Structure 1
Amino acid sequence: MRAFILFSLCVAAVYAGPSSSLRIAGGTEASIEQYPNLVAILYTPDFVTNTQQCGGFILNQRSVATAASCVTQTGVVRWTIRAGSSYGNSGGVLYNLLLMIIHTEFDNDYKTNNIAILRVANAIVYSNVIQPSRIAGELYIVPDNQRVVAVGWGKNEDGEKSEQLRQVELVTINQGVCGQAYVETETKVTDAMLCAGWVDGGRGQCEGDLGSPLFHTDVVIGIASHAEECGSANYPSVNTRVNSFVWWLQNNA
């Protein structure tokens, strides 16, 4: 029984309706206490320095989920996970990786099935700033125009990656509208993707946010995957839709 508890996932089965618990005026600084399931994913080019490249979220004490496009080009030894810190490049606890599990049908050109699991070499120790995620189950469907929150260490309005964790409120975008926006680009919008943006632009997921979670209340519904432009009114941010991969996550985490 202990092993089951250690490696099980917390799945939110059904969307229970709108919530008023998130009221963010715009992109603001945030703390890891607000998002203790979030991790920074660090890359080393020289095995001396580590720099935050992407984000991810804790599934259980041995696994973290992220976007496959973050890690697919390099070996496991070049990556480290930082948990429990509001800062991308300092603080918290570092975990080396043991294994990468890339979705077997991931297509880096079209960003389909853009999801991966990173197994850590040593068990993640939970604390008030390190906690597992609640992920959307198959029946957890979020309607259009619902408030969601993106978090990460990606580029801010100044065009610089943020060392301090940030959060921004977005809304879910109709699938057809999002697909039409990307119809002439090199990427596709499939049913296994979820779009989020802001009608006037200026808000969105950007470089450095790749792999970071998209939240509806406290449930992870998306994984930052790609966008034609950061925060553009014309191109919503595209996320991997978590409830399309819940069984894959459970079987591999």
Structure 2
Amino acid sequence: MKVVVLFFLAGALALPADLDEAEFKAMSVDPTFNKLPPDLSSRITNGVEASPHSIPYQAYLIVSGSNKSWLCGGSLISPKHILTAGHCVDGGISATVYLGSHNLHETESTRVIVQSRHLIRHENYNKSDISNDIGVIELETEVELNENIKVISLPSRDVTEDYVGANVKLSGWGRVAGDQATSAVLLEVNSTVISNTQCRQVYSIVIDSMLCISGTGGVGSCKGDSGGPLVYDNVQIGVVSYGATGCAVGYPSGFSRVTSFLDWIEEKTGLSL
């Protein structure tokens, strides 16, 4: 078994910077693919700069634990709730949430910074197989919605499609490559959802409550993008969960499938979905 190292990126209320390394997980995948292990962190590689504020539901998170902080992504699903990955809030005590941002290196009049009231991780989140990798952050105060800060829609309960073949958008401020710095500006990539059967040939941990996008073209998620949104037709269908160690080019990126967690999200937020 190989040890996977998760790089945490953190800061106070200013810019994130590399803080530390922590052993986070050990796992392996099918030997057909040289036992390349998945990694719990996930990236925007080979992305392009998003048009400023064109993804108004995107959240930037600095999560603080007892003795470290780390960077994740998220999405605004109500004026008082952020959807993110379970591993992003695992071990967290509080979170600072940035909304309305584009360039983290600049002072932006559109930016709103709000603190968390509660961090909620799925009760059955499992580090060993990355199952139930979903979490919610309840904000201390409701944010005022505007042109730069909007709520993303979630799928309706009657959705039965698996999204295979769908052209989807992934966004975040994570590393642009496994050995490079995080992006100052919000990046986005378009990719295609592949079948779980195909993805399971690469990552043996894939189950029905996950979905994957193709790594074709070298695009995908990287360290710092975890918890961010995967969107199809203006609806969030996935939450960034895992990818290949070192953000290896050409491998699929894995997501928690939002349709599998609608009951849980409704229970924890009180929203009517």
> When the two structures are superposed, what TM-score results if normalisation uses the length of structure 2?
0.74
What is the match of residue 114 of structure 1? 133
CA–CA distance in 2 between the matches of 1:180 and 1:131?
A: 37
What is the match of residue 41 of structure 1? 61
Does 2:237 align with 1:221?
Answer: yes
Determine if contact 1:56/1:213 at 8 Å carries over to the other structure: yes
What is the match of residue 170 of structure 2? 150
CA–CA distance in 1 between the matches of 2:126 and 2:104?
A: 27
Q: Assess, with a 3 A threshold, how the Cα gap between structure 1 residues 46 and 75 changes in structure 2: closer, same or farther.
A: closer
1:163-242 maps to which residues of 2 (within 5 A)? 163-183=184-204, 188-200=205-217, 202-229=218-245, 230=247, 232-233=249-250, 235-242=251-258
> When the two structures are superposed, what TM-score results if normalisation uses the length of structure 1?
0.79
Q: Alignment length, in residue pairs?
A: 218
CA displacement at 1:170 relative to structure 2: 0.9
One-letter code of the match for 1:98?
R
Identity %: 27
One-letter code of the match for 1:55?
G
Quick check: 57-66 or 84-93, which moved more?
Answer: 84-93
Structure having the larger proportion of residues in strand: 2
Q: Assess, with a 3 A threshold, how the Cα gap between structure 1 residues 45 and 63 changes in structure 2: closer, same or farther.
A: closer
CA–CA distance in 2 between the matches of 1:56 and 1:32?
A: 17
CA–CA distance in 1 between the matches of 2:260 and 2:53?
A: 28
CA–CA distance in 1 between the matches of 2:56 and 2:70?
A: 17
Q: Assess, with a 3 A threshold, how the Cα gap between structure 1 residues 232 and 137 changes in structure 2: closer, same or farther.
A: farther
SS of the residue 2:156 aligns to? strand
Q: Assess, with a 3 A threshold, how the Cα gap between structure 1 residues 231 and 131 changes in structure 2: closer, same or farther.
A: farther
One-letter code of the match for 2:176?
N
- The gaps in structure 1 that reach 5 residues or longer are 1-25
What is the match of residue 103 of structure 1? 122
Which of 66, 73, 94 in structure 2 is aligned with 1:55? Answer: 73
CA displacement at 1:214 relative to structure 2: 0.4
